[in-house]
């Protein structure tokens, strides 16, 4: 199984992405397996800390586009046609849950970054709490180089987790950034030799599990609620708008105002999704991957 799940007697779970032939990218099946691994960790009272890592030269490189795009397109069509939320265990949100976007997980997660961390790897990294990497690791939000958009949470998370100018260097320049530079930017806790990577991650895990698990989880929950307070606040306002709309006469002016407010309210992650859809429907989004495949500079049109 390409997503390994190993729990030890010290309450630590090791999740390993093992698909080196595809640079540890994920098709629909592997996004599902990764989401299920997170579900298993979340729901196991004896699992207190998770370590996520990869094998070979890559940590996680996100979607295997050649396989995933046609697979998810077919799943969207089949789910819409059948009026169901999943088919054979596959869900439309497997990809986002797998990278911990809009996924409620109050248990600590440690990333042991063994190599390239790009696309969905960067998205998932933003959902982890402690990050160690080897010197060979490279980090990038490369989507703009291909005319695409990082729609898995990075544009929301990164500016909240590292200083603004550092986040913008990542997001706008779209360059591969070496591990030492990523450490200096505040993205990582430590850089250690590759043969010491898992030992370093387990050392962090040991320091965490020495503490009371409920206190640790409540601490992470509180920290997340402060960092992403607007997400919950907007959901509450939206619910209140919906309830008020139901008790006001449809032709009342206040009802029209509430209806407009309900349409306009978006969380940061929802605005990210809307922008992602806009960019992916552009001509530049077609040109970028085509230019990459043809090994030539892209000819951007800004449309």
Q: How do 109-113 and 130-133 pair as beta strands?
A: parallel
The pair of structure tokens assigned to 57 is 């030269």
In this structure, are residues 17 and 3 in contact, taking their beta carbons and an 8 Å threshold? yes
Helix (H) or strand (E) run with residue 48 in it: none
Q: How many residues does the chain have?
A: 303
**Is 143 among the residues known to form the active site?**
yes
Choose, from 10, 29, 143, 246, the residue flagged as catalytic.
143
For 102: left if phi > 0, alpha if psi spans -120 to 50, otherwise beta; the answer is: left
Choose, from 123, 184, 270, 287, the residue flagged as catalytic.
123
Which residue from 42, 82, 104 is spatially nearest to 228, judged by alpha carbons? Answer: 104
**Is 123 among the residues known to form the active site?**
yes
Give the CA distances from residue 49 to residues 7, 105, 190, 206, in Å, rounded to whole numbers and listed in that order: 10, 11, 18, 9
Dist. CA 194–CA 197, nearest whole Å: 5
Residues recognised as catalytic? 123, 143
């Amino acid at each position: 199984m390409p997503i390994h799940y190993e729990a030890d007697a010290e309450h630590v779970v090791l999740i390993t992405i093992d698909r080196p032939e595809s640079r540890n990218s994920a098709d629909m099946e592997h996004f599902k397996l990764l989401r299920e691994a997170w579900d298993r960790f979340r729901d196991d009272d004896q699992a207190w800390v998770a370590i996520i890592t990869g094998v070979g030269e890559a940590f996680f490189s996100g979607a295997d586009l050649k396989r995933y795009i046609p697979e998810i397109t077919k799943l969207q069509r089949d789910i819409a046609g059948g009026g169901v939320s999943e088919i054979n265990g596959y869900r439309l949100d497997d990809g986002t849950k797998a990278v911990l976007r809009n996924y409620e997980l109050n248990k600590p997660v440690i990333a042991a970054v063994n190599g390239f961390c790009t696309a969905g790897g960067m998205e998932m990294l933003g959902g982890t709490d402690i990050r160690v990497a080897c010197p060979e690791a490279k980090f990038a939000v490369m989507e703009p180089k291909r005319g695409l958009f990082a729609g898995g949470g990075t544009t929301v998370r990164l500016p909240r987790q590292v200083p603004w100018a550092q986040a913008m260097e990542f997001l706008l320049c779209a360059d591969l950034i070496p591990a030492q530079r990523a450490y200096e930017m505040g993205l990582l806790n430590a850089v250690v030799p590759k043969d010491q990577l898992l030992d370093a991650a387990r050392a962090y895990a040991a320091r965490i599990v020495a503490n009371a698990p409920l206190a640790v989880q409540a601490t992470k929950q509180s920290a997340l609620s402060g960092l992403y307070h607007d997400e919950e606040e907007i959901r509450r306002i939206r619910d209140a708008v919906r309830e008020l709309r139901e008790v006001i006469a449809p032709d009342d002016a206040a009802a029209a105002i509430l209806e407009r407010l309900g349409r306009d309210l978006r969380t940061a992650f929802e605005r990210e999704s809307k922008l992602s859809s806009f960019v992916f429907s552009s001509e530049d989004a077609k040109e970028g991957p085509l230019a990459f495949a043809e090994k030539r500079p892209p000819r951007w049109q800004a449309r």
